[in-house]
Structure 1
């Protein structure tokens, strides 16, 4: 079952259960998927990679918006963003903790043979490919910088 089919099914369940919080998050995901499909000319189904990227983008947007609302003391809007973020994260692959990311990057650095920060690009490319959907780019970048310096 594709992500889009699962979302449509969960929207129906949420409507019946009158779970407005989950319904709002699911509708945001559905809108993003439909937008991604229209960007790819006449695509019936998005690849799993593309679906994960769409969800990661939504999660990142919610986190950034939540931070802005928190800084401006808008707890009402912050709460809405965090509720939607929780719904979006349910459909993302399980995120690795920092220590697991550090171990994977350590292995990648050994494979690539990087020794300085100048070779960060090679390590980042391999890390982003290997950790796709399992860690965000900011965390990966921080770990790579700390291990190469």
Structure 2
């Protein structure tokens, strides 16, 4: 289970006095605890839920890093990037651009989509099948590209 792995990694980071890694791990632990409490006392979170939590954290870090970079705040940008690297360690391997294009072409063929008007059908199927393997923004870009 991810929570146990995170706890072990936190101990290792504390012993190594690795502050950047410790920040990222603590953010993951806090998000997982929050997800657990939202589900209820007796409910356990599934592996899919854990992946969604990690994806949300990664997305937040990316967006914050972009904002800090735009505003020339290199110190804050670096903090976000360090945490993002730690979070990404626990996410499933992301598909490369070529693999993603091939996968989406297959989905387009299955759904019979022919224009941008059919994007909703393709996105719904793609998001389900590619959950955890690619982020929604990238999927959307590729779908638009292929349908136009």
- Which deviates the most, 130-139 or 35-44? 35-44
2:132 pairs with 1:133: yes
Q: Which runs of 4+ in 1 moved over 3 A?
A: none
Matches within 5 A, 1:100-119: 100-119=99-118
CA apart distance, 1:43: 4.0
Counterpart in the other structure of 2:123: 124
Q: Give, in angstroms, the shift of residue 44 of structure 1.
A: 4.6
Distance 1:43 1:103 in 2: 41
Query: How many angstroms apart in 2 are the aligned matches of 1:93 and 1:43?
Result: 27
Distance in 2 (CA, whole Å) between partners of 1:6 and 1:54 is 15
User: Following the alignment from structure 1 to structure 2, what is the Cα–Cα distance between the partners of residues 36 and 44?
Assistant: 10
Question: Hey, what does 2:39 align to over in structure 1?
Answer: 40
State TM-score, norm by structure 1.
0.96
Q: Could you state the TM-score of these two structures normalised by the residue count of structure 2?
A: 0.97
Q: Which runs of no fewer than 5 residues in structure 2 stay unpaired?
A: none
Unaligned runs of 5+ in 1: none
Offset at residue 146 of structure 1 (A): 1.0
Paired residues in the alignment total: 148
Alignment of 1:1-149 (within 5 A): 2-149=1-148
Name the Cα RMSD after superposition: 0.9
Q: Return the alpha-carbon distance in structure 1 between the equivalents of residues 90 and 76 of structure 2.
A: 22
> C-alpha separation between the residues in 2 aligned to 1:39 and 1:14?
28
- CA distance 1:125–1:43, shift in 2 (3 Å): farther
Compared CA separation, residues 43 and 90, structure 1 to 2 (3 A): farther
Instruction: Rate the CA distance shift 1:70–1:11 in 2: closer, same or farther, 3 A.
Output: same
Residues 26 and 78 of structure 1, relative CA distance in 2, 3 Å threshold? same
CA distance in 1, matches of 2:42, 2:56: 20
